[in-house]
Amino acid sequence: MMIGVDSSVIVAGIHANHPRHTAAAHWLVRALTAHELVICHHSILEVYAVLTSLPGSFRVTPSEAHDLLTATVKGNMAVAGFEPAGTWEIIESFIPRSVAGGRSYDAFVARVLHAHGARAVATFNVKHFAGLIEGFSAIDPSETGGT
């Protein structure tokens, strides 16, 4: 099955000091062999932004963020792109589900991943993705059997 990977899982999986690092890293290792993984192009940028803006000693340099992303994502996950012409269709899809505010970004990621063939997304923000798309589920990597 093709599974999308949210930025919350990538950040936790590649930053050793993250409180959810162990769960995310173990999930990623298992999922890479059991599933086809895909990440939204926007999520790669979000991971980079988070890693390079963490507080104090947790922050990584731009070069380190690049290296961590390259080692984890490039060659291991497909990158789902977005056609700008679909912008209005995506916004219109928010209306029936009353998607608003910051959840709009998660809904955007879900739509892009789903259009690429993903049937689920691995995320630590399960509630943000719940009910956004019929037949598209959210998986919490910290739960047993999350692959």
* Stretch 18-45: mean pLDDT: 96
Integer Cα distance of 66 and 97 in angstroms: 36
pLDDT in tens, 57-95: 899 999 999 999 999 999 999 999 988 888 999 999 999
CB 138 within 8 A of CB 120: yes
In this structure, how many other beta carbons lie within 10 angstroms of the beta carbon of residue 58? 11
Q: What is the pLDDT of residue 6?
A: 98
- Name the H helices within 35-102: 41-51, 62-72, 87-94
Query: What is each CA distance from 69 to 38, 39, 97, 117, 131, in whole angstroms?
Result: 14, 12, 33, 22, 29
CB 41 within 8 A of CB 82: yes
In this structure, how many other beta carbons lie within 10 angstroms of the beta carbon of residue 16? 9
Q: What is the pLDDT of residue 35?
A: 94
Instruction: Kindly list the structural domains of the chain, giving each domain's residue range(s) and its CATH number in brackets, ordered by start.
Output: 2-139 (3.40.50.1010)
* Stretch 9-34: mean pLDDT: 95
Q: What is the pLDDT of residue 126?
A: 96
Whether the pLDDT of residue 144 is over 70: the answer is no
pLDDT in tens, 124-141: 999 999 999 999 999 999
